[in-house]
Amino acid sequence: MTDPAIREPMSFRSEFKFLLKGISTEITLRLYSPIHSSSVVVRQSHRIAIPGLDAQERAACEDDTQDGEVLQNVISEFVCNYNAAVAKGLKPDASWLQPDPNFR
């Protein structure tokens, strides 16, 4: 794994799947450890983007008490945006989830 021809070697750590209430699209998160680093890389099957929810409403749901865990941060983004949209009266919709074209 040290040859210059090898790019971004990583070992698979774990995979998590979940649904958001009212949306039947499954979201997959995969955690990897780069071989030459102690960091954690997360790959997501989807991103969340909700029409009608502005940055101020999203920022209002951020939780500064998170301990920096990668998985928790990613899930929190989905949940905070989802909860802010539902609190605003928006109906959950699969269009909120944008597939990541690089996720395999």
Look at residue 1 and tell me if it is in a domain.
no
- Model confidence at 4, pLDDT cuts 50, 70, 90, reads confident
DSSP 8-state class, residue 6: -
Look at residue 28 and tell me if it is in a domain.
yes
* Contact indicator for 51, 104 with CB cutoff of 8 Å: no
Q: Which of 28-32, 57-61, 94-98 has the lowest mean pLDDT?
A: 57-61
Average pLDDT, stretch 8-25? 94
Look at residue 2 and tell me if it is in a domain.
no
Q: Which long-range contacts (CB under 8 A, 24 or more apart) does 85-92 make?
A: 85/50, 85/52, 85/53, 88/52, 88/53, 88/57, 90/50, 90/52, 90/53, 91/22, 92/20, 92/21, 92/22, 92/23
Look at residue 5 and tell me if it is in a domain.
no
Average pLDDT, stretch 20-41? 92
Look at residue 27 and tell me if it is in a domain.
yes
Look at residue 3 and tell me if it is in a domain.
no
Look at residue 4 and tell me if it is in a domain.
no
- Model confidence at 65, pLDDT cuts 50, 70, 90, reads very low
Q: What is the DSSP string of 25-82?
A: --EEEEEEEETT-S--EEEESEEE--TT--HHHHHTT--TT----HHHHHHHHHHHHH
**Domain count along the chain:** 1
* Host domain of residue 71: 10-99
pLDDT of the residue at 17:
96
Look at residue 39 and tell me if it is in a domain.
yes
* Mean of per-residue pLDDT scores for the chain: 86
pLDDT, tens digit (0-9, with 9 covering 90-100), for 44-60: 999 999 998 876 666 55
